[in-house]
Amino acid sequence: MAQSTKSNIAELNTDVTKQMAILRDDIANLTATVAEYGKAQGDIVKAAATSKANNVVENGTAAADAVKAKATKSYSDAEDAVRANPGAAVGIAAGIGFLVGMISARR
């Protein structure tokens, strides 16, 4: 009977050792799978962020170009108005200078 108990314990130890090895392999496989999934999700997020950043750059560049074109057009229009009516331009400039002088003198 003692021999039988020792044999059963030895079989249980062997069985537990095999099961522990299987569990270690399963945990290693799960760890690798989770790591691969995390890397894939990171790549997806990185691609989305890069795409959004590129869109923002394109929109910002287009807006800057539009503002530059409008400023150039406004400057050209003002320059044409001064050339067409130089007397009025000098009078307006003098009036604005007078007002600025009056406002700054009060302070």
Q: Residue 5 carries which DSSP code?
A: H
pTM above 0.75, yes or no: no
pLDDT digits over 29-72, tens only? 999 999 999 999 999 999 999 999 999 999 999 999 999 999 99
Q: Which residue has the tokens 């299987």?
A: 22
